[in-house]
Amino acid sequence: MFKNVEIYSKSNCSFCDKAKYYFDQNDITYQEHNVEIPETFKILMERNPNARTMPQIFIDDKLIGGYTDLMEFVNE
């Protein structure tokens, strides 16, 4: 289905947890990046300067957006 899934997330983020739960329930492997680490946050800002909320999800290097955007994407 998806070759490369990345999720930029932070702790205590319910939408981050929902996105990871979706991937786990559907046996989709993903790489998680913690934006509470300054260097990781910097990389996210380079990839998506407009990111203001978490999670930020990339599938096959394409920005999907947050959890709601992910649900729209997978239900297309």
Each residue of 18-64: pLDDT tens digit? 999 999 999 999 999 999 999 999 999 999 999 999 999 999 999 99
Residues 4, 59 contacting (CB under 8 angstroms): yes
Query: Does residue 76 surpass a pLDDT of 90?
Result: no
Domain 7-52+62-74 has CATH 3.40.50: no
- Domain extents in the chain: 7-52+62-74
d(CA 69, CA 76): 11
Look at the alpha carbons of 36, 42, 43, 46 in this order and tell me if their dihedral is positive or negative: positive
d(CA 56, CA 71): 13
61-70: average pLDDT: 97
**Burial tier of 9 (Cβ tally within 10 Å: 0-12, 13-18, 19+):** buried
The pair of structure tokens assigned to 19 is 């996105």
**Is the full-model pTM beyond 0.75?**
yes
